[in-house]
Amino acid sequence: MKILIVDDDDMVTESLSIILSVENEFEIVGQAGNGLEAIEFCRKNAVDLILMDIQMPVLDGISACKAIKKSYPGIKIIMLTTFHDYKNIHQSLQAGASGYLLKSDDFEKQKMTIKTVYAGLPIISEEALKSFTENKTDEKLTPRENEIVELIANGLSNKEISQKLFISEGTVRNTISIILEKLELRDRTQLAIYYWQKR
């Protein structure tokens, strides 16, 4: 299995190369420092699978993933990152990634992930999966504020929220103002999107 490792941190590409090349199945055919280099490499070399960082200079991993998948749909791509928010998972999957794993996952898991993806099954790491399912409270917000966020994210109007919580509509509006300011959002719709799409 010809593997290309893409990460702007040489420490990461180097250590991954060493660890993975222990396995006979894996053949590290190249390393790239950003998305553009990865695309270049795929054009010139045979690659089966790419381990790709998300945050990189020049061209980020998600854009590179899109481009590579378009030109070479046969190449499997596993996103590799320390950030594991919902947004990145979602975007990566939309960009055509077959999986997602954390640099902090142990090596046995990483190897298993690579083999499984190569076998044609998409996979996400346990930690990444957690970010799908973990509860959506924001530590920047108070309990009451989080409660209201959840109601907004379920499509309730201010009047409905006030009735459900037995408080005045004015209070609901004030609280939402504070929430929006804290989260740097503009309106309840962006808040609902933030709730479901991000984190």
Q: Which range, of 64-72, 141-149, 151-159, 176-184, touches its own copies by CB under 8 A?
A: 151-159
Q: CB–CB of 50/6 below 8 Å?
A: yes
As a whole number of angstroms, the distance between CA 72 and CA 61 comes to 15
Q: 142-161 in b/e burial notation, b at 16+ Cβ within 10 A? A: eeebbebbebbbeebebeeb
Q: CB–CB of 57/8 below 8 Å?
A: yes
User: Applying CB under 7 A, which of residues 43, 70, 130, 159 lies at the interface with DNA?
Assistant: 159
State both tokens at 12: 């990461």
Least Å distance, CB 129 to its own copies, is 5
Query: Within 109-148, which residues bind DNA (CB under 7 A)?
Result: 142-145
Least Å distance, CB 166 to DNA, is 7
Number of chain positions touching DNA (CB under 7 A):
24
Q: Which range, of 33-41, 55-63, 92-100, 179-187, touches DNA by CB under 7 A?
A: 179-187
State both tokens at 123: 């996979």
* Complex with its own copies: residue 14 or 187, whichever CB lies closer: 187
Least Å distance, CB 145 to DNA, is 5
